[in-house]
Amino acid sequence: MKENFYVYILSNQSNRVVYTGVTSNLVKRIWQHKNKVADGFTSKYNVNKLVYFENHDDAENAIKREKNIKDWKRAWKNELIEKENPDWRDLYDDITQ
């Protein structure tokens, strides 16, 4: 069975802070962010709203994409998010149904 990898962007409720990550289990990873399972940036800044994600076929490409997005200016990240999710709504419910 082929494994999928996801690059995702989280934001806080005011959309002032964004975080980019990569995972092979999107539902589980976002749940961990929402429940502050690990101390760190997302827990400290209440960054737990899934506003963007994309699917990749292999880990190497997903990690390259994550690093690429992390290097972007904030305006470019906003543009990427708003292209798919103009209202910055939390997509978590969409991926758990």
Give the dihedral of Cα atoms 79, 71, 65, 91; nearest 10 deg.
Answer: -40
Structural domain boundaries in the chain: 5-96
pLDDT band at 1 (very low <50, low <70, confident <90, very high): low
pLDDT higher than threshold 90 for residue 2: no
* Assigned token pair, 76: 């470019």
The CATH number given to 5-96 is 3.40.1440.10
51, 11 contact by CB (below 8 A)? yes
User: Can you give the pTM of this predicted structure?
Assistant: 0.95
Q: What residue type is 53 in one-letter code?
A: F
Look at residue 38 in the predicted model and tell me its pLDDT: 83
What are the CA-CA distances from residue 36 to residues 30, 66, 92 (Å)?
10, 21, 15
Q: For the segment 58-75, what is each residue's pLDDT rounded down to a tens digit?
A: 999 999 999 999 999 999
